């Protein structure tokens, strides 16, 4: 159980650092990349990228919310495979970050 708790604590710390870097240092650029990619790929379905004054707040929201996918991935991995190696934790964290960023971007490009 100690390894699962360590994984959860490390995932939370990494998510906080990534959120701080995305919003504080990069000023929402990772979120803007997510939103632009989703809007470009799904424009035939009616997705539109926010413009003007709405663009940066959306990018900052996505940059702030995407790291929560790292925590969800850490929870899932500690539940399903508590003795997984560190590489699996890193891989699942990256997948969780990307999945959460895409889901949050989907919400904003279709609203």
> 9-36: per-residue pLDDT in tens?
999 999 999 999 999 899 999 999 999 9
Q: 17: number of CA atoms within 13 Å, CB side?
A: 6
pLDDT at 83: 85
pLDDT digits (tens, 9 = 90+) for 25-74: 999 999 999 999 999 999 999 999 999 999 999 999 999 999 999 999 99
Domain ranges of the chain: 2-109
User: Residues 6 or more apart from 68 whose CB is under 8 A from it?
Assistant: 15, 100
The whole-model pTM stands at 0.91
């Amino acid at each position: 159980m100690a390894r699962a708790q360590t994984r959860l604590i490390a995932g939370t710390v990494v998510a906080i650092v990534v959120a701080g870097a995305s919003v504080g240092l990069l000023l929402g650029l990772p979120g803007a990349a997510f939103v632009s990619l989703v809007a470009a790929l799904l424009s035939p379905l009616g997705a539109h990228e926010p413009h003007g004054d709405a663009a940066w707040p959306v990018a900052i929201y996505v940059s702030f919310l995407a790291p929560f996918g790292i925590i969800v991935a850490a929870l899932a991995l500690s539940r399903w495979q508590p003795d997984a190696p560190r590489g699996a934790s890193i891989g699942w964290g990256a997948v969780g970050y990307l999945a959460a960023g895409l889901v949050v971007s989907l919400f904003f490009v279709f609203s």
